[in-house]
Amino acid sequence: MNTINSEKPASSDKAPPKMPGALPLIGHMLDFGKNPFNYMMKLRNTLGEIGEFRMFHQRMVLMTGPEANEAFFRAPDTQLDQSQAYKIMTPIFGKGVVFDAPPDKKDQQLKMLMPVLRDKPMRGYAQIIVAEVEQMVADWGDSGEIDLLEFMKELTIYTSSHCLLGNEFRYELNEEFAKIYHDLEKGVNPLAFVFPYLPLPVFRRRDKARARLQEMVTGIIAKRAQKTEKSEDAFQLLIDARYDDGSRLSPHEITGMLIGTIFAGHHTTAGTAAWTLLELARRPEHMQAVLSELDRLFGADGEVTFRSLREMPLLENVIKEVLRLHPPLIFLIRKVMQDFHFKDYTVKAGKYVCTSPRVSHRIEEIFPEPEKFDPERYTEARQEDAKPFSWIAFGGGKHKCTGNAFAMLQLKAIIAVLLRRYTFELTDAKDHYQDDFTQMVVQPVSPCRVRYRKRQTMCDTATQASEAGTAEKTPTGESFRIVIDRELCQGHATCMSEAPELFQVDDDGNLTVLQENPALDLLNKAKQAEKYCPTQAIKIQLK
């Protein structure tokens, strides 16, 4: 018998086991509210893969582990309804848009987002993201301190608004959009579950912002209709999209789908990007491995391109491991519309079921030593995530994150551009950097400060070497010197290297060799730099 077929009546009709310790009226609210992750972990350790708890009068059933996750994600919408969990977003996304639309319309709208967040447009997005990161760090100088989370939040709103909303919003309407977005974000308030349109200033500002955004979207649709040249952003793809009956999306729907997509991807991506740098900064050996991968790739190509972003297995595994340990969505909820069966248990209609990526990612039998940061888990040899529905940071089944490829592209581009230019160190003790479970989207606790320092370029290294006046020997015994034409050199990143690891020049100009075969490495790096230097500022002189 298939024990995880949610539609098949189970052999027994047992209710899921209940968590002890419910208080009158509020149930387990206090424990859960204190730290939802700890509470869910406790539930799994006490009751196993399925167990019930209570939030006020509402009965919730937590399901964790691959089999329970599979039953959760594979259940049809008519049985486990996702929309109820997102009701709080209706005033922002709009009535009749995505989670507020009838099931068939919702499916069609979500389907329209697929080509927007995958396939062809990704090449263009890669260029935009790289340019946005470069612009953000353009005035960073040689070293400094930043709040990493704040930086990532600002950066990812630029990248996603640029890729999804397009040039008009990014360049002409940027300031107004920032204000609108701020008012919409403030409108995401738990009160909206119960009284979404209460006449509170925060809800009034939210509704005004939504109306103004739709006005702007309508204006741009009209302007674009006059142009012969077509834009290539998500906005345009939605303008051109059609329902099955051939009708178009209305400006109200386009506005809701665009802002919904930006909301879905903003804090999730910003938090993950911040955690990726924090985890690497905590672990020099992993940082070094990622830097080597980046240097190997960009030594051959120079630019962070769509193609090079697809060739980063190590960085990709690091990000997967970050998402295993710090999934920004720690629980996903559905309302039970028809009785739902899992193994011997039946969850009655009217209850809620939820699953937890964060708890599921810490199951010892699937991910040995679950608290250990170990990107090797995902290599060919180990494939610890191979069991379906074991690694679920992006959800699973029909409602799996539509933006996962876009998110990965964005994360890799951000980390690659930053690490090619800068190294990062934590300013506080390692255990200061924790997850903040008070937020709906879990991110590192604020403030989240790091110190950055510019990485030396080949040009810097070579300048030091030539200033030190020291000639090195090639493997065949000739002396060589690297010469930089300072007028030509513009400090491009194409010749980036971890040169300080190779040799150091002290205050008196003495060169100390730090590696076993330094001349060969230096010569190879210098040759690369000579080849790829866009202004031909680097020359190797053989003597």
Residues that bind ligand HEM (CB under 6 A): 82, 110, 113, 117, 261, 264-265, 268-269, 272, 323, 327-329, 332, 393-395, 399, 401-403, 406-407
Instruction: Read off the tokens for 241.
Output: 């999209």
For ligand HEM, which is the closer residue by CB, 329 or 495?
329
Residue 18 phi/psi, 5-degree rounding, is -105, 145
CB 313 within 8 A of CB 378: no
Q: How far is the CB of 239 from ligand HEM (least distance, A)?
A: 17
For ligand HEM, which is the closer residue by CB, 261 or 456?
261
Could you tell me which of 214, 261, 209, 211 has the C-alpha nearest to residue 233?
261
For ligand HEM, which is the closer residue by CB, 340 or 406?
406
Angle (nearest 5°) at CA 241 between 237 and 246: 165
CB 397 within 8 A of CB 343: no
16 vs 352: CA distance, rounded Å: 12
Q: How far is the CB of 327 from ligand HEM (least distance, A)?
A: 6
Instruction: Read off the tokens for 56.
Output: 């006020």
The total of other beta-carbon atoms located within 10 Å of residue 24's CB is 5
Edge to edge, the sheet with strand 449-454 lists: 143-147, 449-454, 422-426
- Which DSSP letter does residue 99 get? G
Q: Which residue has the tokens 């039946």?
A: 346
Angle (nearest 5°) at CA 517 between 515 and 522: 85
Q: Which residue is nearest to ligand HEM (CB)?
A: 403
Consult the annotation and say whether 401 binds a ligand.
Answer: yes
Residue 399 phi/psi, 5-degree rounding, is -100, 20
For ligand HEM, which is the closer residue by CB, 118 or 212?
118
Gyration radius of the chain's alpha carbons: 27
CB 525 within 8 A of CB 493: no
For ligand HEM, which is the closer residue by CB, 114 or 191?
114
Residue type, 282: R
For ligand HEM, which is the closer residue by CB, 129 or 538?
129
For ligand HEM, which is the closer residue by CB, 51 or 265?
265
Could you tell me which of 336, 361, 254 has the C-alpha nearest to residue 79?
336
Q: How far is the CB of 323 from ligand HEM (least distance, A)?
A: 6
The two beta strands, 50-55 and 80-81, are: unpaired
The two beta strands, 345-347 and 352-355, are: unpaired
Q: How far is the CB of 237 from ligand HEM (least distance, A)?
A: 13
For ligand HEM, which is the closer residue by CB, 106 or 286?
106
Q: How far is the CB of 314 from ligand HEM (least distance, A)?
A: 18
CB 254 within 8 A of CB 260: no
For ligand HEM, which is the closer residue by CB, 251 or 327?
327
Q: Tell me which H or E stretch contains 144.
A: strand 143-147
414 vs 355: CA distance, rounded Å: 30
Alpha carbon separation from 197 to 87, 201, 256, 400, 456 (Å, rounded): 12, 11, 17, 30, 55
Q: How far is the CB of 213 from ligand HEM (least distance, A)?
A: 17
**Residues placed in the known binding site:** 401
Which parts are annotated binding residues for heme?
A: 401
